[in-house]
Amino acid sequence: MTLTAQRPRAQQKSAAPPPARRRRRPSLVPYVFVGPAAAFFVVIILVPLIYAIYLSFRGQRISGGGAFGRKQDVFVGFENYLTTFTDPELLASLGRMLVYSVIMVPILMGSALLLALLLDSPRSALKGTTRTAIFMPYAIPGVVGSLMWGFLYLPSTSPMHWIAKQIGVELPNVLGQGLVYGAMANIAVWGGVGFNMIIMYTSLRSIPAENFDAARIDGCTELQIAWHIKIPFLMPALVLTGMFSVIGALQVYSEPITLASMTTTIHSTFFPLMAIYKAAFQNDNLNLAAAMSVVLALGILVLSIIVLRISQRKTLGEGR
């Protein structure tokens, strides 16, 4: 289907320069090549997606009446979607997710870019060690990282709070209302900055050196080189990592679910994914969870396409 649609265009491109070079009967080869990807797409993505959509139109309903009637799987139409769209708590959780994204993504991208540029600057020392050190948190599972940070946040277990108390300063509880977004964003940035930094740094290393030589001859400072040469070159990498970061922020789950057991600030439907988990695995309503998932997936899809379209037009131009 969609996959095969790209084939003719790709062929046209490669076949364009030598006109009508060989016009053979259609070969099976392209289909064989695209086969693994198509099979993967169908089995791993399409089938479960269709099953999820199927589930979202069904529900467990009591039949036979009575206080102890038995639940049966029935078709319920758009009931689950209606519940999804009329649940004020789900809407509120979407709002919280956006607040979190607006805080987390710029900090993550900004610090990754800054670190990459600093590491790339000719005067920095201990590059290898620093790079590894910044990348290391990425290798730590999110739950473990969140637990560790949770212990650092909790006033009674945190060494920071202990030290502050010794010198007579009362630190605020970062797991309280307001600061909790920062507390979660901090964990995500700590875990993700190394990964994004490596992508940007690798991309920086591939910029041909003559650009810098030319700029220096023209009298550019390192700062100007970074601004006028490195960042424009980095744009594809920035779009890629930015995209990952946005999707990551919209899927925020492991940090809040881990911290939730440590504070009353994060309740069980704080973010959309938590609400979906609760519906499916605590309230035994897989069907509602499926409807919520479909809605959320569509939302992220639309958002991703918008982000991609805008950034493609701005940075990659039509020629690439």
What is the rounded distance in angstroms from the CA atom of residue 39 to the CA atom of residue 316? 31
Q: Give contact residues for other proteins (rule: CB under 8 A).
A: 2-3, 5-6, 9, 41, 44-46, 48-49, 51-52, 55, 60-63, 65-71, 83, 150-151, 154-157, 176-177, 247, 251, 261-265, 267-269, 273, 276-278, 280-284, 286, 289-290, 293-294, 296-298, 300-301, 304-305, 308, 312, 320
Nearer to other proteins, 134 or 257 (CB): 257
Neighbours of 16 (CB within 10 A): 9
84-87-93 Cα angle (round to 5)? 95
Q: 107, exposed or middle or buried, with CB in 10 Å at 0-12, 13-18, 19+?
A: middle
Q: How far is CA 62 from CA 59, 79, 84, 278, in A?
A: 10, 15, 21, 21
Nearest alpha carbon to residue 112 among 211, 237, 256: 237
d(CA 35, CA 181) in angstroms, rounded, equals: 44
CB of 72 or CB of 221, closer to other proteins: 72
Nearer to other proteins by Cβ, of 41 and 212: the residue is 41
Q: Which is nearer to other proteins, 110 or 299 (CB)?
A: 299
For the CB of residue 319, give the shortest distance to other proteins in the complex, in Å: 11
Which two three-digit tokens encode residue 116?
């990459």
- Least distance (Å) from other proteins to the CB of residue 220? 33
Of 56, 120, 102, 104, give the one whose Cα is nearest residue 82: 56
Question: Could you identify the residue written with the tokens 């939302």?
Answer: 299
Q: Least distance to other proteins from the beta carbon of 43, Å?
A: 11
Q: Which is nearer to other proteins, 89 or 213 (CB)?
A: 89
Q: Minimal distance in Å, beta carbon 139 to other proteins?
A: 21
For other proteins, give the closer residue by CB, 11 or 283. Answer: 283
Q: How far is the CB of 277 from other proteins (least distance, A)?
A: 8
* Distance of alpha carbon 316 from alpha carbon 234, whole angstroms: 11
Smallest distance, Å, CB 74 to other proteins?
9
